Amino acid sequence: MTVNKSPRKHIILKEAASLFREKGFMASTLRELAKRSGVQGGSIYHHFSSKQEILYQIMDYTMTSLIYKLDAEIKDIKDPLKKLRKAIKFHIEYHVTDTDETFVTDTEIRSLDNENLEKIQEKRSVYEGKFIKILNNGNSAKTMAISNTKIAAMAILQMCTGVSYWYKKDSHLKIDDITEQYVNFICWGVAGKSI
Partner DNA sequence: TTAACAAACTAACGCTTGTTAGGTTTTGTA
Partner DNA sequence: TACAAAACCTAACAAGCGTTAGTTTGTTAA
Residue numbers at the binding site for its own copies (CB under 8 A): 22-24, 26-27, 107, 110-111, 146-148, 151-152, 154-156, 158-159, 162, 165-166, 173, 177-178, 181-182, 184-193, 195
Going by the DSSP 8-state scheme, the letter that residue 28 receives in this structure is -
**Which parts of 72-163 are beta strand (E)?**
none
- Least Cβ distance, residue 175 to its own copies (angstroms): 12
Q: Are the beta carbons of 191 and 82 closer than 8 angstroms?
A: no
Buried b (16+ CB within 10 A) or exposed e, 67-95: eeebeebbeeeeebbebbbbbbbbbbbbb
- Least Cβ distance, residue 13 to its own copies (angstroms): 20
Radius of gyration of the chain (CA): 18
Report what 134 binds from its own copies, DNA, none; CB cut-off 5-8 Å by kind: none
CB-wise, 34 or 190, nearer to its own copies? 190
- Least Cβ distance, residue 90 to DNA (angstroms): 34
CB-wise, 43 or 107, nearer to DNA? 43
* Distance in angstroms (rounded) separating the CA atoms of residues 23 and 27: 6
- State which of residues 10, 22, 24, 29 lies at the interface with DNA (CB under 7 A): 29
Report what 171 binds from DNA, its own copies, none; CB cut-off 5-8 Å by kind: none
CB-wise, 47 or 56, nearer to its own copies? 56
CB-wise, 33 or 183, nearer to DNA? 33
Cβ neighbours of residue 45 closer than 8 Å, sequence gap 6 or more: none
Q: Are the beta carbons of 102 and 161 closer than 8 angstroms?
A: yes
- State the residues that interact with DNA by CB under 7 A: 6, 8, 28-31, 34, 39-47, 50-52
